[in-house]
Each structure stands twice: as C-alpha cells, then as structure tokens.
Amino acid sequence: MADMTAANAIAPLTALTEEERMFQAATREFAEKEIRPHVEPMDREGVFRHELMDTFFEQGFMGLEVPEPYGGSGGSFFMAILAIEEFSRVDASAGVVIDVQNTLVNNALQRWGSEAQKQKFLPRLVRDTVGAYALSEPNAGSDAFALATRARPEGDHFILNGRKLWITNAKEAGLFIVFATVDPALGYKGITAFLIERDTPGFSVGKKEDKLGIRASSTCELILEDCPVLRANALGEVGKGYKVAMETLNEGRIGIGAQMLGVARGALEHAIAYAKERKQFGHPIADFQAIQFQLARLATEAEAARLMTYNAARLKDAHLPFMKEAAMAKYFCSQVAERVASECLEVYGGYGFTKDYPAEKYLRDSKIGKIYEGTSFMQLQTIAKLILA
C-alpha cells in the first residue's frame, strides 16, 4: 500500500503555501479597495485610470516574477497567476494589464534577454514602464508567423517597416516587444523579436479599438515606418523569434486561464449574493431548487477551471512539460467563464440585462478568452497535435 504519511503526501492542487495565502489575501484586498471603485467608469469610458496603473507599480504587481536584483518581487509564476485571477474577479481589464506585463513581456525578457537588456529594461518594467507584446497583424492572426512586418539589416541597426494590430497595453506602454521578419523567404525562420522603446523615431501608436469587453484595457494598432532598432535590441537570436513567441505564449495562456477563472468567480459571487436578496413568490430566489442547482453546477465548473489553471501553473514552476495543460486550461476556462457569466446574468432576470448590475459586464469581458493568445480552435489544434503525436 502507498505510504500516505504527511511527509510523503502530495499537496492538493488548491493548497497554498503560507506565503501564497498571504499574497492572495493581500491581492484580493487590493483589488476590492483600489480597483473596484473604478471599474464601472473605466468600462463606460473605455479608459484605464492612470493613477491605478501607478498603484500597480508601487505595490509590485508589475514585476511579480522579476528577480529582486532587478528590482522585482522575486515571486513564482504561480503567484502571478493568483494575482491575475484576483484582479480579474473584480475587473478583467485590470487582470490583462498585469497579465501581459508579467506573463509575456517580463517573462520573454527574463528568458531570452541578454544580461545588458535585462539590466536596462527589467528595472524600468518593474518601476514605471508598461510593456506590450506585438505579434498580431491585420493579415496574421491565427497564422501569426505569416507576419509581414519587415526588419531590414543596415549596419548596426535593423530598419523596421509594417503594422501591428490589436496590441494590448499599447496606449500606456513605454516598451514594446515587436516581432518582424528579417527575410520573408525564410518563413518562420526569419522571425525575430525586437525591443522597441516608444520614443524611437518611425514608431507610433495608432487607432485604439472600441471594444465589446475589457473596454478599459487599451488595444491599439502600431505603425513602424523606417524605424531604426539597434541590433543589440534584438531579443534572443535573429531568426529565433518564433521560439520566443511560441514559448512565451505557452506560459501566457495559463495567464488567460487565470483571467477567465477570475471572471467566472466574480460573476458567480455576484449572482449568489443577488439570489439570496431577490424575493419572488414570497421567498429569496436562492430558496428555489432550480436556482440552487444552477449555481451549484456553475460553481463546479469554476472549480474545475481553477484546478486546470493551478495545475498548469504548478507544472511550469516545477519545470515540467505544461504545453498541453496550458492550452487545455485556456480552452476550458474561457468556455467556463462565458457559460458562468451568461447563466449568472439570467439569475438576475431582467435586471441582469441592464448596466445597473455587473452581470452584463462579466459576460462581455468573458468573450475575449476564446479569442486572444490563440483562439479556441488554435488551442484544440495544439491539444490534438500533442495527444495524437
């Protein structure tokens, strides 16, 4: 029989260390106190509050995994996932701000940056510089490596020309990781990642999208017109940008799983509170078994989403393979978020259909989970490849 003594027992997926528990509680309190009051106006106006972003920096949320010598909090990937979940429970836009900064930008720089690049950029990303991650283009979405942005070598520079679309955080960002090809004839082997500062000549941020959900999170076009970038600002090897993109996005997907988990939890908590208050037929609607079963089913789905997300994050921190689990977590959590948010809206009856209650915002915010960092079909493609290999 297996030895089940405490020392040998494997911790349950939802068990947190003391440090993680304290961090989670502090993050939840921060989200309630600092983010919650601004959620409705930020969503209505489609603008992220500048002062709130400053607080994210002050409280260390923009450099969660960055090692302390670079000014960061020196935390784990799992802690970043907890923060994204807690922020998104209150506001998915706030969740994606820290998600892109931590799981894509800081992560790519930590993993692929030269020591000089890390010394130069990581302390700024931790302190006051928002980062953005620019892969997609008007004609290269799911087929991201069909990108057309060109990087032409010229002396100790590359000259970049092209357009990027849908870039999260672009309005506020000071540093951009931009993917371009040094030679389209090389296919994906020409793709290279570059670190571009906002004030670089020939670089500009274009139109901001007016979106259905995560409205406070900025999504903009980038324009590169004869934009000179030092060779020293290539991130990773020239021609290996596809590896930078693929490997960072594998991790990023767990972040989107956490964002969607937060959305599902937030929607559910509001619906449970409402069901206890709202009376029909002389009873709170939570007394009706149909409502009880609906909420119980949704809570079960959210719990499954949590297990998948935490498992993928723990695998990543343990340096074990996690690509399949990350794709599954993102795929599943985005489905759960949409279903939970939609059915929670119905718990409110007609009131859920108005902007007087938060239910409709959770539903709008849930839609993006199936789209960015690889659509649901792209996740299924990854999962299928891995299980059929």
Residue 136 or 366 with smaller CB distance to ligand FAD? 136
Residue 23 or 112 with smaller CB distance to ligand FAD? 112
Examine the residue annotation and report whether 373 is marked as an active-site residue of this protein: yes
For residue 75, give the amino acid letter. Answer: G
Residue 382 lies near ligand FAD (rule: CB under 6 A): no
| 167, 235, 285, 359: which one binds ligand FAD (CB under 6 A) | 167
What backbone phi and psi angles, to 5 degrees, belong to 237?
Answer: -75, 150
Residue 102 lies near ligand FAD (rule: CB under 6 A): no
Using alpha carbons only, what angle is made at residue 287 by residues 281 and 290, rounded to the nearest 5 degrees?
95
| 83, 97, 108, 134: which one binds ligand FAD (CB under 6 A) | 134
DSSP for 355-378, written as a single string: TTSTHHHHHHHHGGGGTTTS-HHH
Q: Binders of ligand FAD: how many residues, by CB under 6 A? A: 19
Question: 173-181 and 157-168: which strand pairing?
Answer: unpaired
Residue 166 lies near ligand FAD (rule: CB under 6 A): yes
Residue 342 lies near ligand FAD (rule: CB under 6 A): no
Strand partners, 341: none
Radius of gyration of the chain (CA): 21
CA separation for the pair 69, 81 (Å, rounded): 22
How far apart are CB 104 and ligand FAD at their closest, in Å? 7
> Do 312 and 81 meet the contact criterion of CB atoms below 8 Å apart?
no
Q: Binding mask 190-229 vs ligand FAD (x if CB under 6 A, - otherwise)?
A: ---------------------x-------x----------
Strand partners, 179: 193
Which strand (E) or helix (H) includes residue 36?
none
CA distances 375 to 60, 98, 108, 248, 262, Å, are 30, 21, 21, 16, 19
Residue 145 or 288 with smaller CB distance to ligand FAD? 145
Residue 142 or 354 with smaller CB distance to ligand FAD? 142
Residue 17 lies near ligand FAD (rule: CB under 6 A): no
Provide the 3-class DSSP secondary structure of residue 4: coil
Touching ligand FAD, residues 352-371 (CB under 6 A): 368, 371
Strand residue runs (E) in the chain: 130-134, 150-154, 157-168, 173-181, 191-197, 203-208, 219-230, 234-235, 279-280, 283-284
How far apart are CB 242 and ligand FAD at their closest, in Å? 13
**Choice among 251, 301, 343, 373 that is catalytic:** 373
Strand partners, 162: 224
Segment lying near ligand FAD (by CB under 6 A), choices 20-28, 165-173, 279-287, 320-328: 165-173
Segment lying near ligand FAD (by CB under 6 A), choices 70-78, 135-143, 252-260, 335-343: 135-143
Residue 106 lies near ligand FAD (rule: CB under 6 A): no
> Do 152 and 166 meet the contact criterion of CB atoms below 8 Å apart?
no
Segment lying near ligand FAD (by CB under 6 A), choices 161-169, 193-201, 228-236, 306-314: 161-169
Residues that bind ligand FAD (CB under 6 A): 100, 133-136, 141-142, 166-168, 211, 219, 368, 371-375, 377
Catalytic residue list: 373
